[in-house]
Structure 1
Amino acid sequence: MKPVRSLARVLLSGIFVVSGARNLQNAGRLVPAAKPVTDRVTPLLQNLSPRIPTDTESLVRINAATQLVGGLMLATGKFTRPAALVLAGTLVPTTAAGHPFWNSEDAASRNNNQIHFLKNLGLVGGLLLAAADTEGKPGLRWRTGHRIGHSRRSMQRAVRTARREAKIAVRSAATARRLPG
């Protein structure tokens, strides 16, 4: 199953590597489309930290760099689960800014944007599957529950052993008192 996972990750990451590199080089072309989304996000970013850039072109570049790095991480198999989650997060503003089919007056433009919007939703679905994929290994939730159960059983064994040893000690002491000395 490993080759299938590897191939799927490479295929899924390709769009992010290519578009991330392209948009990083020429972020200015995306500014007009991204401005309505960044204008809504800017107050939230300013509340988080005054050091975060809030101009539209910088935010487009940050998103593009994140997609490029996340796509490379997903393709190479390094930190694939976090990379998939981050890439899914970058698709939200990208999709809202790049494919607002609900604003299109022209039927052909609306149809084209709706197709790309749905394609991006499909990518988000694939990324969520990649983020949930444990490669056949137990997930964190299972391992935590298993470890807690193991610890609980170990503690119960220790308590039973301590009780048994205490009973033996009491019997030994009682026997020792009865013996003439």
Structure 2
Amino acid sequence: MKPVRTVARALLAAVFVRGGLEAYKNPDRFVDGAKAVTDRMGSTLGSAGLPTDPRSLVRLTGIVQMVGGALLATNTATKPAAIALAGSLVPSTMAGQDFWSGSEQPQPGPLLRSDAGTSVLKNLGLMGGLLLAAVDTEGKPGLAWRTGHLTEHAQDSLKRAAETTAKETRRAARTTAKETKRAAHLTAKEAKRAAEGARRGARTAARETKLAMTSATAGGILSS
């Protein structure tokens, strides 16, 4: 699809490069048409920092269209170039004029209204093509998709981290319970063993005492 995009951008840019060059070289040819725009939108142009003088407006628009067209044709900074070119069409489109025709303004009538409507539709068609060029991602994921994908990935990572933490906590709790049970069991065994040792020692002491008493008694009998 890249060759198709390249050809399409070049064809779209050719309109602006040619028109912009002609406007810059011969601005007086388009002054009458541009005056209709400045007369209707002078305050708007001034507030936007654009020239309200028809000749200056024509030359500035020509420069924008030459540079933007060249960038678009060479696939360089295509998004800013397409946006700039679309913006260059806004004044004449909103004023319902096509000051690139370079022809004398005819007398008002049905034919003039028809020509103006055609010019506006032509500008809108060009703006549509430029907007498509501006949002074209050349087959790569768009910003919205990348943002959503990153958000989803972050949520999955958090979920996995939470599950891992929960598993580790349960494993640690089971290990602690086992160790506690083992320690208690060992303590009980040690206590039992100590008690048995004490009882054994007591029995041994009792036997030794009994033997001592028996020996003493036997010795007394023999001596008498």
* TM-score bracket for this pair, using the shorter chain length: 0.7 to 0.9
Residues 137-169 of structure 1, C-alpha deviations (whole Å, 9 max, x = no match)? 221111111111111111111111111112222
Residues 40-94 of structure 1, C-alpha deviations (whole Å, 9 max, x = no match)? 4443454456xx5443333322222111111111100112233222212211223
Show the counterpart of 1:137.
140
* Contact 1:88/1:127, CA 8 A, preserved across alignment: yes
* Contact 1:21/1:68, CA 8 A, preserved across alignment: yes
- TM-score normalised to structure 1 length: 0.81
After the TM superposition, which parts of structure 1 deviate over 6 Å for at least 4 consecutive aligned residues?
none
Q: Find out whether 1:170 has 2:168 as its counterpart.
A: no
Q: What is the percent sequence identity of the aligned residues? A: 47
How many residues in Structure 1 have an aligned counterpart in Structure 2?
A: 176
Pair 29,88 (structure 1): closer, same or farther in 2 beyond 3 Å: same
- Structure 1 distance, partners of 2:177, 2:56, is 82
Which protein, 1 or 2, shows the higher relative CO under an 8 Å CA cutoff with sep ≥ 6? 1
- Secondary structure of 2:7's counterpart equals helix
Gaps of 5+ in 2: 100-105, 187-224
- Secondary structure of 1:12's counterpart equals helix
Give the greater-gyration-radius structure (CA): 2
Show the counterpart of 1:149.
152
Show the counterpart of 2:69.
71
Residues 100-144 of structure 1, C-alpha deviations (whole Å, 9 max, x = no match)? xxx952555544444433332322222222223222222111111
- Letter of the 2:36 counterpart: P
Q: Find out whether 1:94 has 2:87 as its counterpart.
A: no
- Letter of the 1:33 counterpart: G
- Secondary structure of 1:97's counterpart equals coil
Pair 122,45 (structure 1): closer, same or farther in 2 beyond 3 Å: closer
Question: Aligned-residue CA RMSD in angstroms?
Answer: 2.6
Q: Find out whether 1:16 has 2:16 as its counterpart.
A: yes
Bigger Cα displacement from structure 2, 150-159 vs 55-64: 55-64
